[in-house]
Amino acid sequence: MTILPRSFVIPTGVARVGDDRGDHQLFADLAAGRPEALGALYDRHAAALFRHGLALTRRGPDAEDLVQAVFVKLATTGAGLAGVNSPASYLHRMLHTTWLDGHRRRITGERVVEQTHEAACGSQAPGRGLDVAIDLARALDDLPTAQREVVVLHLTEGFSFREVGRLTGVSLFTAAARYRLAIRRLRKTLAPAGESR
């Protein structure tokens, strides 16, 4: 049985990136001490943050933990939320920073054990009677974390390369280069046998 990550096609309450109309008011409400705004923000952004977290962690439970950590931090931030210019970007940056902090702690404090591709996905090669979505999920899972994160933020969440760069702490050009390398690698992995791209 093949174990696959949760779908990257979970709907959100936000029509598109930059759809911050209601978010500014929700941030202001949360800063003013109205806890019901937290629930509304969760409804609007949890699915997108989960996809971003899944791109970083490769594991649903870990992605869910990241999303929970973001909303706990958001609930305790208080008055500082009133001045946030782009709420969606702010939330994704919080998630990235939370993941990075945990990743650094694991590297310096624990022995990191990674699942191999074969243990996680089985030994069957892409394109051999498997559904295209399964092949794509496996190919995404095989990308380095930084490349996978850029693909999810740009293609799935609709962030520009400039925004992806800001969210991940790299330049616009680095974000675009990571995306280009990821797409090249995905094309190579997903190309039918005997076809070169």
List, for residues 73-118, the tens digit of each pLDDT value: 888 887 788 888 889 999 999 999 888 888 776 665 543 333 333 3
The predicted pLDDT at position 196 comes to: 54
pLDDT tier for residue 10 given thresholds of 50, 70 and 90: very low
CATH hierarchy code of domain 118-192: 1.10.10.10
The predicted pLDDT at position 165 comes to: 92
Q: Taking all residues of the chain, what is their mean pLDDT, rounded to a whole number?
A: 77
The predicted pLDDT at position 84 comes to: 87
Q: Which residue in the block uniquely carries the two structure tokens 């690698």?
A: 185
10 Å CB burial of residue 15 (0-12, 13-18, 19+) is exposed
Range list for CATH 1.10.10.10 in the chain: 118-192
Determine the Cα angle at 113 with ends 111 and 119, to 5°. Answer: 170
Q: Which of 19, 44, 18 is nearest to 30 (CA)?
A: 44
> How many other CB atoms are found less than 10 A from the CB of residue 103?
14
Taking the C-alpha atoms of residue 163 and residue 21, their distance in angstroms, rounded to an integer, is 18
DSSP code per residue over 6-41: PPS----S-SSTT--HHHHHHHHHHHTT-THHHHHH
Taking the C-alpha atoms of residue 1 and residue 120, their distance in angstroms, rounded to an integer, is 10
- Mean pLDDT value across residues 9-19: 48
pLDDT tier for residue 144 given thresholds of 50, 70 and 90: very high
pTM, to two decimals: 0.59
pLDDT at 3 over 60: no
Helical (H) or strand (E) element with 168? helix 161-168
* Tokens (6 digits) for 70: 């973001």
Q: Residues 30, 38: contact at Cβ < 8 Å? A: yes
* Tokens (6 digits) for 171: 């330049």
pLDDT at 123 over 50: no
| Residues in Cβ contact with 145 at an 8 Å cutoff, skipping those fewer than 6 apart | 55, 56
pLDDT at 148 over 70: yes
CATH among 2.60.120.920, 1.10.1740.10, 1.10.1060.10, 1.10.760.10 for 10-113: 1.10.1740.10
